[in-house]
Homo-oligomer: A and B are copies of this chain.
Amino acid sequence: MSKKEAIQPLTAYFQRENIRNVVILTDENVNRLYPDYFSGLQEFCQLDHYVLPAGESSKSIETAVKIWDYLAEKQYDRNVFLLNFGGGMVCDLGGFVASTYKRGIRFANHPTTLLAMIDAAVGGKTGINLQYLKNGVGTFYFPDIQLPVDISLLKTLPDEELRSGFGELVKYALIGSEELFQKLCQLDSIEHLEPDFLTFCVDFKQNVVKKDPKDTGLRHILNFGHTIGHAIESYGAEKGTPIAHGLAVAQGLYYESLLSTKLGLLPQNEWQQIAAFLPKHFQIMTLTEEILSKLVVFMQNDKKNSDNLINFTLLDHLGHATPNFQIPISEIQTYLLMTRPSTLDPKP
């Protein structure tokens, strides 16, 4: 996939929809690496750029206000098109700005990270962080055109970010395709991802989202690994040692697969495959009593949970998940306490 192939569907769309003003929202890193990526669009429309400081701290209401003000000062009307060119931060924030500027303008995502390609850029969830609440504010708002992924952009992605995206990719395999899982098990290096792997994830997510756009039931299967994963992410942030989203999710996949087996859903031999595979690519922390009790507090604060039950998506077998199990906190503590990647005994 070259940038020409990414631009072609856009130019056709702009001409069909008579779009003349396009604002490219990107961050400093992407802008430095790919300053002319979309220059071919200039023949077809007026291009404007808004470049954000890189990093999650830009995913804030303060940044959204700056972009809204910029669009208003430039007197862009409802026909302006926002093109988000970056990772999850740019896609989430840009989608939120698009969904709210003058009550909604058209937009598309062209993701530059593996994580964004298979997750943030697909599915219509937009969001910004409140001071103490990740994605505390956002909307459901869908891109007007889904662009083909440009896997060549991953060449410049730092290893940790590629690995983080790989965590999310493993999730799709676990919940959606045993075949993909087996292929990932045979992968010699995460740098050798095949475009098909990504296409599977995008298509799988789009199918799920089509059936449950507002995340009221089925879509929760996409949260596999995320209940514990988010808690680990929050725990890392609180400790001052932030953990990349996909690396936290990978640990969540590990412990939620274990939970699936302990609860009698996932066959033990399949759990053993997962337990052998994940630690090859990801560091899995041991859950001491202290850590586990902190994770439980974060899980209770999660927007999907209420009272003393925690909502989990669990695996019934490799390649298939079921959402919305309500697991009592006491069981989570019993099953996950002090499990160690090296001394695993999944029997209850």
Measured in the bound complex, the distance between the Cα atoms of B104 and A63 in whole Å is 21
Give a binary string over A209-229; 1 marks a CB under 8 Å from any B CB, 0 the rest: 000001100000000000000
Report the count of interface residues on A (CB-CB < 8 A).
36
Task: Assess whether A125 is in contact with B140, with CB atoms less than 8 Å apart.
Answer: no
Measured in the bound complex, the distance between the Cα atoms of B131 and A242 in whole Å is 35
Judged by a CB distance under 8 angstroms, whether A10 is at the interface is no
Judged by a CB distance under 8 angstroms, whether A72 is at the interface is yes
Task: Assess whether B140 is in contact with A303, with CB atoms less than 8 Å apart.
Answer: no
Judged by a CB distance under 8 angstroms, whether A130 is at the interface is yes
Interface centre among A72, A78, A79, A132 (most CB of B within 10 A): A72
- Whose C-beta in chain B lies nearest to the C-beta of A76? B303
Judged by a CB distance under 8 angstroms, whether A4 is at the interface is no
Task: Assess whether A69 is in contact with B100, with CB atoms less than 8 Å apart.
Answer: no
Task: Assess whether B100 is in contact with A138, with CB atoms less than 8 Å apart.
Answer: yes
Task: Assess whether B303 is in contact with A69, with CB atoms less than 8 Å apart.
Answer: no
- Whose C-beta in chain B lies nearest to the C-beta of A102? B303
Task: Assess whether B137 is in contact with A101, with CB atoms less than 8 Å apart.
Answer: yes
Task: Assess whether B72 is in contact with A61, with CB atoms less than 8 Å apart.
Answer: no
Give a binary string over A84-128; 1 marks a CB under 8 Å from any B CB, 0 the rest: 000000000000000111111000000000000000000001110
Judged by a CB distance under 8 angstroms, whether A152 is at the interface is no
Judged by a CB distance under 8 angstroms, whether A40 is at the interface is no
Judged by a CB distance under 8 angstroms, whether A301 is at the interface is yes
Judged by a CB distance under 8 angstroms, whether A77 is at the interface is yes
Known: A61-B61, A72-B132, A132-B72. A103 touches B127 (CB 8 A): yes
- Whose C-beta in chain B lies nearest to the C-beta of A306? B77
Measured in the bound complex, the distance between the Cα atoms of B137 and A102 in whole Å is 5
- Could you say which residues of chain B place their CB within 8 Å of the CB of A99? 139
Task: Assess whether A140 is in contact with B103, with CB atoms less than 8 Å apart.
Answer: yes
Known: A61-B61, A75-B301, A100-B100. A136 touches B68 (CB 8 A): yes
Judged by a CB distance under 8 angstroms, whether A237 is at the interface is no
Judged by a CB distance under 8 angstroms, whether A1 is at the interface is no
Measured in the bound complex, the distance between the Cα atoms of B136 and A244 in whole Å is 35
- Whose C-beta in chain B lies nearest to the C-beta of A73? B132
List 23 A–B pairs whose Cβ atoms lie within 8 Å, in order of A's numbering.
A61-B61, A61-B65, A61-B68, A68-B136, A68-B137, A69-B130, A69-B131, A72-B130, A72-B133, A72-B136, A73-B132, A77-B305, A77-B306, A78-B303, A99-B139, A100-B100, A101-B136, A102-B138, A102-B303, A103-B139, A103-B140, A104-B140, A104-B214
Give A residues with C-beta under 8 Å from B: 61, 65, 68-69, 72-73, 75, 77-79, 99-104, 125-127, 130-133, 135-140, 214-215, 301, 303-306
Given A61-B65, A72-B136, A77-B303, 9 further pairs, Cβ under 8 A:
A69-B130, A77-B306, A100-B137, A101-B136, A102-B137, A102-B303, A103-B127, A103-B138, A103-B140
